[in-house]
Amino acid sequence: MSNALQRLIDLLPKAPEFIGTVTSADHPNYKVLVVDGSGLVMCTSSTKYTVGTRVFISDNEIKRVALGGEVIQIEV
């Protein structure tokens, strides 16, 4: 029987995800301004994005497009 707590921990993402706006697009290198005010992050992506697109980033990689709206931070 496996440990239920460990299985729950394994489901959580290993690297945090942030939402940001693409400020410079030079595929595959991008500069993303993070919403929480921490500044610009250099990111890479295999998909092309345009300037102004809101995206999820994790480990300096753009993961996917983020929907518009209010951003809420949840501490786990």
Structure confidence by residue, pLDDT tens digits, 28-41: 999 999 988 889 99
How would you classify the pairing of strands 61-65 and 29-34? Answer: unpaired
The H or E element that residue 9 is part of is helix 4-11
Domains for the chain: give ranges and CATH numbers. 15-65 (2.40.50.140)
The conformational region for residue 2 under phi > 0 = left, psi -120 to 50 = alpha, else beta, is beta
pLDDT > 70? residue 1: no
Structure confidence by residue, pLDDT tens digits, 41-63: 999 999 999 999 999 999 999 99
The predicted model scores a pTM of 0.75
